[in-house]
Amino acid sequence: MTRLNRRQFIQIGGAAAGGLAAGVGLSTKWYGLDPDEVADPGTDGDRVVPSFCEMCFWKCGILAHVKNGRVTKITGNPAHPLSRGHLCPRGTGGIGLLYDPDRLKRPLIRRNRGQMQEFEEVSWDAALDLVAEKMLKIREKYGPEAMALYSHGYGGSWFKHLLHAYGSDNIAAPSYAQCRGPREVAFHLTFGRMVGSPENTDMENSRVITLIGSHLGENMHNTQVQDFTRAIERGAGLIVVDPRYSTAAGKARYWLPIKPGTDLALLLAWMNVIIGEGLYDHDYVEKYAFGFDRLKEHVRDRTPEWAFTRTSIPPETIVETARFMAGGRPASLIHPGRHTTWYGDDTQRLRAIAILNALLGSWGRKGGLTLPSKVKLPKYPYTKYPGQSKNPPDMPKGTVYPLANEILSQGLCMASIPGTAAYDLKAWLVYGTNLIASLPDPDATRKALQALDFVAVVDVLPTEITGWADVVLPEATYLERCDEVHTPAYKEPFLAVRQPVVEPMYDSKPGWWIAKELAHRVGLDDYFPWKDSVEYAMYRVKHGGFDCEELKRTGVARGKHVPVFIDDGLEPVFDTPSGKIELYSQTLEKAGFDPMPEYTPPDEPPDGHFRLLYGRSPVHSFSRTTNNRFLCQVVSTNEVWVNAQAAREMGLRNGDMVRLINQDGVVSEPLALKATQRIRPDCVYMVHGFGHNSRLLKFAYKRGASDSRLMTRYKVDPIMGGTGMNVNFVRVEKAA
């Protein structure tokens, strides 16, 4: 065959196939009597309802297709700034949650049957009456603050409102002290403003993106990944610092397989190079930063050679990457990350990330970090909350985390063990939070649960936490209810509504209804004056000057565009003591902490042990989606990544079933071993969220292994109380 160039090749190929198709196909077409039809699978909806997603907490705009009363598919709402017509796998998987056969169907009350306890299905009245009775009793006996609320998810707003009205402000979510907390504190200390969710990054315009342990792509926040890949498409260079060759590392110009726990040394060395070589943004630092000279002095001896002995990253790589990231400034972003509770010194690590961003002049700059704004909607006019007289008891006696700016969930958990804190918590209301899987040291959580007078759980699925409840209230899914209006801070301000797509299945009820009914039963009707959540939401929308009918039709409305970059004429405001970017933090100094980040070496793994690292699958949200049969078609279990060489030395092969045993002798469920070149030999990695032991999660039960169970230890961040969880060590044994 003669050589053709590729363009011609296609055309000729096409023509040839056309001829062939005619020649071969005619014989069966019977001249039109036996046609080949293009079958339509018929999944386009008779109705298409715009709403926003709750499969994770990013809240992308969705279009739910409904045909004959069933949701057939969920696609991205092109008008919504967070989805732009695209969805992550979980967004599509909403149908797997809605039609999960294991859903909680009717209210349940714990009953004693001789030696055994079991749940009895009851009416809503019976269940709500019991919760209300307990709430009243607890308020009378111990005061309202003895009742705490754990809430994660957008539907939790109704219960937060209820609890505030009831008189308790003890409301926490693991998303703070087990996740984003250190980042928010560190950025607030540095820039006087938190990162928030969605993160205020402007990755799509970045020229260089540096990820410190962030596994974007595996951590699948839709808009963020869209911006990330857009940046790659536009030729942005990536520096990925991760002990594991993550998906993001696979796209990086530089992969730095750092020794776990030593990121701060690398960050200081980068500052050393960037300041030492004068690569920082002089004007920006001059104009906006406070304490540069002290920082310069502070990092003077933090040389790449110094960092090499700690991080195992060669000095020349550190210098090269420092120059590379500085070459992209100000469109050079050191990503703040999201799940940042790793080693207990996390606020300082995040401070270093914030400082590095400041040196590159990326805060408030295109391709760096934005200064977003939100659509302001008037609040619904309620009676003022009574307010709580006592401080939250989330810091056990003798401890103080002076810079925590939210309530610590593990602290509230501890306060439930009598005598631990300033006062005891006596009852929990748990909304959408599987505390057994999300708090470290699950034994402590169980101990707290045992000590409580009363636990009520509102959830969609029979997760582990529901097994500890006295009353279980089955909530309708996000596709069956209307929630609070979504008005996040974002570079394009917008508001979005969650609308019920179908009627609640079984005997489940939307959260607003449950909260309103409870309020009615404890005499708080004043706080729930609206008929339903639609009336509530539309009040806010209408009084915010938006068209309710239009919004119901489109699901989303844009606010006025305001500049979010300094380059666009926005004058930045830094809510810090100096009114500037605090390279040197006066707040930390005053509180008795290092005002500039200092490296602390991590503990070494005991002999024969690996550091246990964990992360996410793009298909799952924590432990919430691992029972979702639709999603589990593509990822149904987790595996443990072990360096291939290390595995061989242990006599283990790829695919072997193994168990992990941690430093305290806790043994994991069996899971498959992934022997791979993609991880350092001193650590192992697994995806979080598997290994359920709730039998009622019929699909997820005993599928994969739980990393949470192996986290018997955690290191608390002295600055803000976050729980560093990458401090557990495991050995790997072949499962019998």
Q: Restricting to residues 93-112, which ones interact with another protein according to CB under 8 A?
A: 93, 95
Q: Is 142 exposed, middle or buried (0-12, 13-18, 19+ CB in 10 A)?
A: middle
In SS3 terms, 82-147 reads as CCCCCCCHHHHCHHHHHCCCCCCCCCEEEEEECCEEEEEECCHHHHHHHHHHHHHHHHHHHCHHHE
Interface mask toward another protein for 453-472; x: CB under 8 A: --------------------
* Range 538-547 burial, b when 16+ CB lie within 10 A, else e: bbbbeebebe
| Cβ closest to another protein, residue 41 vs residue 569 | 41
Residue from 383, 389, 450, 633 in contact with another protein (CB under 8 A): 633
| Cβ closest to another protein, residue 23 vs residue 398 | 23
Amino acid sitting at position 678:
R
| Cβ closest to another protein, residue 634 vs residue 657 | 634
The candidate with the shortest Cα–Cα distance to 471, out of 29, 51, 128, is: 128
Binding segment toward another protein, per CB under 8 A, in 2-10, 128-136, 150-158, 159-167: 2-10
Rounded Cα distance, 185 and 582, in Å: 13
676 in contact with another protein (CB under 8 A):
yes
160: left (phi over 0), alpha (psi -120 to 50) or beta: alpha
194 in contact with another protein (CB under 8 A):
no
Instruction: Map tokens 């791979």 to a residue.
Output: 676
SS3 168: coil
Q: Is 141 exposed, middle or buried (0-12, 13-18, 19+ CB in 10 A)?
A: exposed
SS3 376: coil
SS3 496: strand
Rounded Cα distance, 632 and 93, in Å: 9
Rounded Cα distance, 146 and 143, in Å: 6
29 in contact with another protein (CB under 8 A):
yes
| Cβ closest to another protein, residue 246 vs residue 420 | 246
CA 325 to centroid of chain Cα atoms: 27
| Cβ closest to another protein, residue 85 vs residue 378 | 85
655 in contact with another protein (CB under 8 A):
no
680-719 positions binding another protein, by CB under 8 A: 680-681
Nearest approach, Cβ of residue 475 and another protein (Å): 24
Nearest approach, Cβ of residue 510 and another protein (Å): 24
| Cβ closest to another protein, residue 258 vs residue 482 | 258
If you ran DSSP here, which 8-state letter would residue 349 be given?
A: H
276 in contact with another protein (CB under 8 A):
no
679 in contact with another protein (CB under 8 A):
yes
24 in contact with another protein (CB under 8 A):
yes
148-187 positions binding another protein, by CB under 8 A: none
Interface mask toward another protein for 202-231; x: CB under 8 A: --------------xxx-x-x--xx--xx-
504-523 positions binding another protein, by CB under 8 A: none
292 in contact with another protein (CB under 8 A):
no
Rounded Cα distance, 464 and 455, in Å: 13
38-67 positions binding another protein, by CB under 8 A: 38-43
Site size with another protein, rule: CB under 8 A: 81
Nearest approach, Cβ of residue 247 and another protein (Å): 5
| Cβ closest to another protein, residue 56 vs residue 485 | 56
| Cβ closest to another protein, residue 347 vs residue 626 | 626
| Cβ closest to another protein, residue 298 vs residue 629 | 629
Rounded Cα distance, 209 and 356, in Å: 12
20 in contact with another protein (CB under 8 A):
yes
587-626 positions binding another protein, by CB under 8 A: 618-619
Residue from 53, 62, 64, 87 in contact with another protein (CB under 8 A): 87
| Cβ closest to another protein, residue 453 vs residue 639 | 639
11 in contact with another protein (CB under 8 A):
yes
Rounded Cα distance, 527 and 522, in Å: 11
DSSP for 544-590, written as a single string: TT--HHHHHHHSEEE------SGGGT------STTSSEESS-HHHHH
SS3 270: helix
Residue from 79, 186, 249, 318 in contact with another protein (CB under 8 A): 249
247 in contact with another protein (CB under 8 A):
yes
Residue from 2, 3, 8, 23 in contact with another protein (CB under 8 A): 23
**CA–CA distances in Å: residue 417 to residues 23, 27, 426, 471:** 81, 80, 9, 20
Rounded Cα distance, 722 and 529, in Å: 38
Helix pair angle (181-191, 346-359), 10° resolution: 40
**CA–CA distances in Å: residue 385 to residues 167, 168, 200, 519, 539:** 7, 9, 31, 13, 20
Residue from 18, 327, 418, 579 in contact with another protein (CB under 8 A): 18
| Cβ closest to another protein, residue 266 vs residue 377 | 266
86 in contact with another protein (CB under 8 A):
yes
81 in contact with another protein (CB under 8 A):
no
Interface mask toward another protein for 110-149; x: CB under 8 A: ----------------------------------------
Binding segment toward another protein, per CB under 8 A, in 73-81, 350-358, 407-415, 428-436: 73-81
Q: Is 323 exposed, middle or buried (0-12, 13-18, 19+ CB in 10 A)?
A: middle
Nearest approach, Cβ of residue 13 and another protein (Å): 4
* Range 274-293 burial, b when 16+ CB lie within 10 A, else e: bbbeebbbeebbeebbbbbe
| Cβ closest to another protein, residue 252 vs residue 719 | 252
10 in contact with another protein (CB under 8 A):
yes
| Cβ closest to another protein, residue 57 vs residue 142 | 57
Instruction: Map tokens 């610590």 to a residue.
Output: 408
Phi first, then psi: give them for residue 477, nearest 5 degrees: -75, 175
Binding segment toward another protein, per CB under 8 A, in 28-36, 107-115, 500-508, 517-525: 28-36
DSSP for 404-430, written as a single string: --S--HHHHHHTTSTTSSSS---EEEE
If you ran DSSP here, which 8-state letter would residue 31 be given?
A: G
Binding segment toward another protein, per CB under 8 A, in 24-32, 205-213, 566-574, 600-608: 24-32
Binding segment toward another protein, per CB under 8 A, in 90-98, 328-336, 554-562, 591-599: 90-98
| Cβ closest to another protein, residue 8 vs residue 115 | 8
